[in-house]
Amino acid sequence: DSRFVTLTQKHIRGRLAETILALKANYGIENDGKTLNVIMNRYDLASLSNMSTSNAIRTLSSFATEGLIEISGRKIKILNEEELAKISRLG
């Protein structure tokens, strides 16, 4: 039920932040302690967040500019998990 509410009622930033945190919870992180231990293309990440690929790309870029994540190809490194959790909670 919680996931359904997330996908239908949260704003784009909240959905993507929650998806990134869910990926961390499900797949873990690499030895550096920050990089998600999963490789995702933008289309799949957008699908998991119930948004268009272009919205996912823009939001990822926004998160990177804000210093919340770092993107290297298909890898995502979480730099500020607390702020991502806050964005996810506030939706």
Domain residues of the chain, as ranges? 2-90
Q: May I ask the CATH class of domain 2-90?
A: mainly alpha
Q: What is the pLDDT of residue 5?
A: 58
Range 1-13 average pLDDT? 67
Distance CA 6, CA 19 (A): 10
Q: Which residue has the tokens 């873990």?
A: 28
With 70 as the cut, is the pLDDT of residue 2 above it?
no
pLDDT for the residue 1: 54
CA dihedral 54, 56, 57, 61 (to 10 degrees): 140
pLDDT digits (tens, 9 = 90+) for 27-82: 999 999 999 999 989 999 999 988 999 999 999 999 999 999 999 999 999 999 99
Q: In the structure, what pLDDT confidence band is assigned to residue 25 with cuts at 50, 70 and 90?
A: very high
What is the pTM for the complete model shown?
Answer: 0.88
